[in-house]
Structure 1
C-alpha cells in the first residue's frame, strides 16, 4: 500500500488564545506542526499541483482560521483546524500540534491532537 504524508512544521500564526480576558487581549504567536495523510497516493502526480495537496493553500487557510475570533483553549483551535483540513482536503488523517509560549520557565506548552476521516 502506498501512503503519502505531507507535513508543515513550525508554521507561525497569531491568535487570541487564553483562559483569561487579559491573555486574549492581544494576539500571541503560536507555532503549528501539521501532519496530513493523503487519501490518494503521492506517486504519479505528473508534476502537477492540482494532483496533490497544495501545502501553500493549506497554510493560508490555517492562518486565516487561527487569526479569526478568539478561543480559551489550545485544544479548541486544534479541533477546529483538524475539522477544516478534513472537510476541505482529500485527507485520511490529520494531526496538529500547537505550541504556545506562555510559561516563563518553559520553552513552550504543546497540545497535539489527531483524527482520521
Structure 2
C-alpha cells in the first residue's frame, strides 16, 4: 500500500547563492510513502497507518529549521525524516518542485530513499 500526498506547499530557504537563500521561497512536495503493513485497509483505524498530520508537521518543521543549497538534499532529508516516523514505512519517494526559471513552470527532483541509502 502507498500513501500519497500531492502538492504539499511549504516555505524554505533554498538556493545556490546566499542571496537566493536570504528569503524563504515556496516549494511543492509530492510524497509517496510505501507501507509494509496493510492492516488499515480493513481496520479503518488511524493507529494502523501513518497519520497525515504527522507527515505535514514533519515536512513543515524540516523546512523551517534550516537552509538548503540543493533541492536534492532537501528531498533526501524529507525522505529520511518521514521514514523515521514508523517501522511500517518500507520506502519513501519525495518529489520537490520550485519556480525558478521565467520560461518554465517549475523545476524539480525526485528522490527514492531505497535507491540512495
Query: TM-score scaled to structure 2, two decimals?
Result: 0.91
Task: Give RMSD over aligned pairs.
Answer: 1.2
Deviation at 1:94, TM superposition (A): 0.5
Q: Which residue of 2 aligns with 1:38?
A: 35
Q: Which residue of 2 aligns with 1:110?
A: 108
Residue range with higher mean Cα deviation, 61-70 or 5-14? 61-70
CA-to-aligned-CA distance 1:52-110 (integer Å, 9 cap, x gap): 11112111111110121111000111110111111222211110000011111100001
How far apart, CA to CA, are the structure 2 residues paired with 1:114 and 1:83? 10
Count residues in correspondence. Answer: 113
Residue range with higher mean Cα deviation, 47-56 or 95-104? 47-56
Runs of 4+ residues deviating >6 angstroms: none
Q: Which has the higher helix share?
A: 2
Deviation at 1:44, TM superposition (A): 2.0
How far apart, CA to CA, are the structure 1 residues paired with 2:97 and 2:31? 12
Residue 51, structure 1, aligned to residue 48, structure 2: yes
Residue of structure 2 aligned with 1:65, choices 45, 62, 65: 62
- Alignment partner of 1:96: what SS? strand
For structure 1, the residue ranges without an aligned partner over 5 or more in a row are none
Residue of structure 2 aligned with 1:93, choices 91, 102, 105: 91
